[in-house]
Amino acid sequence: MMLSALIEGLAILRAHYGRDGYHCSSEHDQIYMEPTDQPLSPTMVDRMRELGWFQPNDDYSEEDPENLAEIYYPSEGWSCFT
């Protein structure tokens, strides 16, 4: 993942947290962000996927990129590989 994609993804998520002090964690080469307080719009979900972010338990497949935002779980966090 490029630094610009990491930063843009974090900026999108930060705008959807209702507080400053949200949790993040990492393990080896993966960064985890906790679920946002406000759901992302379909446009923002699509952008997160384009940047390489994903939700760890989703069924999204790059082979079927139609309606990316339809597979979005607001109660789950986001993740990316560095």
Is residue 13 in some structural domain?
yes
HSE-CB at 6 with a 13 A cutoff on CA atoms is 10
Is residue 30 in some structural domain?
yes
Q: In what order do the strands lie in the sheet with 78-81?
A: 24-27, 30-33, 78-81
Distance between CA atoms of residues 50 and 29, nearest Å? 19
Is residue 15 in some structural domain?
yes
Which pLDDT tens digit goes with each residue over 5-58?
999 999 999 999 987 767 888 888 999 999 999 999 999 998 999 999 999 776
DSSP state of 21: -
Range of the domain at 14: 1-55
DSSP state of 69: G
Is residue 32 in some structural domain?
yes
Number of domains in the chain: 1
**pLDDT for the residue 21:** 67
Is residue 26 in some structural domain?
yes
* Residue 70 token pair: 């339809």
Is residue 48 in some structural domain?
yes
Is residue 47 in some structural domain?
yes
